[in-house]
């Protein structure tokens, strides 16, 4: 497994895994009754909490544990396991509503301004 070997070689120091950059993961957070559910869609990991920050923090811990376990045990398949399509659809629907609201409140005045504000990640 080339990717895991590279991660071990480049980022593993002692018992901790370090990253040279930031890792972007898409997370869907929803209120369900008296608690919040945080779902990391890229890894299909779910956590809950009484508050939204608690659910997010619990999810971050699970993500760290998953990545650390996958790296230590050469289990690349644990790093490439997206959530089912229905969750991605819900995520992108919510994201598009938020984007429309942002653009309606503060529309760009020119093509140049759009270019300046774009934050695009490429795979």
Residue 115 falls inside a structural domain: no
Residue 40 falls inside a structural domain: yes
Residue 102 falls inside a structural domain: no
Burial of 22 (0-12, 13-18, 19+ CB in 10 A): exposed
Six token digits for residue 9: 């070689």
**Are the C-beta atoms of residues 95 and 87 closer than 8 Å to each other?**
no
Q: What was the pLDDT predicted at 110?
A: 84
Q: What was the pLDDT predicted at 65?
A: 93
Residue 107 falls inside a structural domain: no
- CA 56, 100, 98 angle in degrees (round to 5)? 10
CATH number where 78 lies: 3.30.160
| Below-50 pLDDT ranges, the chain | 1-18, 123
SS3 2: helix
Residue 20 lies in domain: 2-83
Residue 17 falls inside a structural domain: yes
Residue 54 falls inside a structural domain: yes
Q: What was the pLDDT predicted at 20?
A: 56
Residue 101 falls inside a structural domain: no
Domain count, the chain: 1
Reported pTM: 0.71
Residue 100 falls inside a structural domain: no
Q: What was the pLDDT predicted at 119?
A: 64
């Amino acid at each position: 497994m080339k990717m895991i070997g590279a991660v071990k070689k480049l980022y593993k120091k002692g018992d901790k895994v370090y990253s040279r950059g930031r890792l972007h993961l898409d997370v869907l957070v929803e209120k369900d009754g008296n608690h919040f559910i945080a779902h990391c869609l890229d890894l299909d990991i779910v956590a809950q909490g009484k508050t939204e920050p608690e659910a997010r923090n619990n999810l971050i811990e699970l993500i760290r544990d998953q990545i650390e376990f996958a790296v230590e045990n050469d289990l690349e398949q644990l790093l490439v396991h997206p959530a089912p399509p229905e969750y991605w659809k819900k995520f992108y629907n919510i994201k598009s509503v938020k984007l429309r609201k942002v653009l309606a409140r503060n529309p760009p005045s020119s093509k140049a301004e759009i270019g300046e504000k774009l934050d695009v990640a490429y795979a």
